[in-house]
Structure 1
Amino acid sequence: MPDIRTYQVVVNHEEQYSVWATDRPLPLGWTSEGTSGTREECLTHIAEVWTDMRPRSVRQVQE
């Protein structure tokens, strides 16, 4: 059975991204980034915008 749910891109305080079903409450510490669609569309968006996988706190120390 195909997945017909709508997903959203979520981000945490460390600027790490994930995909979350829109029909579920957001997990604590995560906010909607503004992008929604199929799971694949959300994953494609994340691949385009999340180019540095290091958490924000690590990037700040290393820069």
Structure 2
Amino acid sequence: MNDGTHRYTVLVNGAGQYALHPEGAEEPSGWLAAGFGGTEEECVAHVDRCWTDTRPAHLRRPAGAGHA
């Protein structure tokens, strides 16, 4: 059980998906720090505010976007 003392970093991947990762641990391939860290509760609240549409990024783009 997390007692609130563990710290996490919020990560984001190329599909715009978010994950919590133990602070200080090497980021997995394909994931980058999203610029937020804190307790699990703080990070989950941040992700909830930022990631309101959980579909992968390519499904969130408007029809025709990205076509030349």
Aligned residue number for residue 24 of structure 1: 25
The structure with the largest helix share of the pair is 1
Number of paired residues? Answer: 62
**TM-score (structure 1 length as normaliser):** 0.86
The structure with the larger Rg is 2
Structure 1 segments unaligned to the other structure (5+ residues): none
Structure 2 segments unaligned to the other structure (5+ residues): 64-68
- Percent of pairs with identical residues: 37
**TM-score (structure 2 length as normaliser):** 0.81
Root mean square deviation of aligned Cα: 1.5
Q: What one-letter code is carried by the residue in structure 1 that aligns with 2:39?
A: T
